[in-house]
Amino acid sequence: MKKILALALSMMMLFALCACGGETVVTTDDAATTTADAVATEEVADTTAEVVDDQPEKKTFRVAMECAYAPYNWAQETDANGAVAIADTNMFAYGYDVIIAKKIAEANNWDLEIVKLDWDSLIPALQSGTVDAVIAGQSITADRLEQVDFSTPYYYATIVTLVKNDSAYAAAQSVADLKGATGTSQLGTIWYDNCLGQIPEVNQLPAQETAPAMLVALNAGTCDVVVTDRPTGSAALAAYDNFVMLDFYGTDGDYEVSDEDINIGISVQKGNTELLDAINAVLAEMTATDYDELMNEAIAVQPLSE
């Protein structure tokens, strides 16, 4: 009788369990499988995270320039023509230097950032590591080579003179014909430091802070002549229809300059051979004709021409 009662109680408990709200009974084997699946899912997630973490962070190529030296570089309000945002401003930079910087960044799969600095702050920014490179129409001079390293030239800029078309010097055929002129140029350039003083009996005014400032000085009649390079002179003609550009290049009456004076390079922190090699590899694929075409492109859209 006891065995029959025990069997009846067991059957009642089984029916009660089956009737409890549709709950699923998990066996020991099912629990083990569920736990294994969860562990496997976590392992896959961890592996995926590791793959993402192992991806190298994309380098940002920080390039300094004045953003006030057309046609090499200038600032504008929009990203027209492919201009690049200037760090910490709502402005954009464009010009020949930006075109070259973009080519270098694209070839190396780098992000490009333009940093606006005044001329005298360019080399110190490199030395402090604030920026990676300066692409700003710098001549590759011996003095600068003591402070930074330079790439191979990315432009060859001959020296010219700007005068007003009604000037007594408008028909000059040589540097000697500029005798007695009052002149100026941009601060910290070979135009001011090396060339202006070659004019006989020149009245050499203080250097101007920027290239636009020296053009304003000439237009205002503050000086008779401005010494600069051909790209800057060509850009000035687009803005001032009363200017004449005197080019003595290739004649006996030209300014006496060395290759280092007219070869324009990209500067990097001294000893940064890895970056220098990457830059030179891109420049090695380009020719003097390529440089001229890109410079003409920049001159055509520079703001002075509008």
Tokens 């010494």 belong to: 227
More confident of the two residues 45 and 194? 194
pLDDT the model gives residue 3: 46
Whether residue 15 has pLDDT greater than 50: no
pLDDT the model gives residue 162: 98
Phi, psi of 136 (to 5 degrees): -150, 30
Phi, psi of 145 (to 5 degrees): -65, -20
For residues 131 and 276, state if they share a domain: yes
The total domain count for the chain is 2
pLDDT the model gives residue 238: 86
Q: Residue 302: count other Cβ atoms within 10 Å of its Cβ.
A: 24
Average pLDDT over residues 246-270: 94
Query: For the segment 261-305, what is each residue's pLDDT rounded down to a tens digit?
Result: 889 999 999 999 999 999 999 999 999 999 999 999 999 998 865
**Residue 140 falls inside a structural domain:** yes
For residues 97 and 234, state if they share a domain: no
Q: Taking a C-beta distance cutoff of 8 angstroms, is the pair 66, 51 a contact?
A: no
pTM: 0.73
Query: For the segment 133-162, what is each residue's pLDDT rounded down to a tens digit?
Result: 999 999 898 999 999 999 999 998 899 999
Helices (H) and strands (E) in the chain, counts: 11, 15
**Residue 295 falls inside a structural domain:** yes
Question: Cα 102 from chain centroid?
Answer: 7
Query: For the segment 110-137, what is each residue's pLDDT rounded down to a tens digit?
Result: 999 999 999 999 999 999 999 999 999 9
Residue 215 structural domain = 159-248
pLDDT category of residue 50 using cuts at 50, 70 and 90: low
**Residue 25 falls inside a structural domain:** no
Token readout for 162 is 């700007």
Which of the 8 DSSP states describes residue 198?
G
pLDDT the model gives residue 303: 83
For residues 105 and 126, state if they share a domain: yes
**CATH code for the domain of 240:** 3.40.190.10
Average pLDDT over residues 184-194: 93
For residues 198 and 140, state if they share a domain: no
For residues 137 and 267, state if they share a domain: yes
Partnered with residue 208 across adjacent β-strands are 186
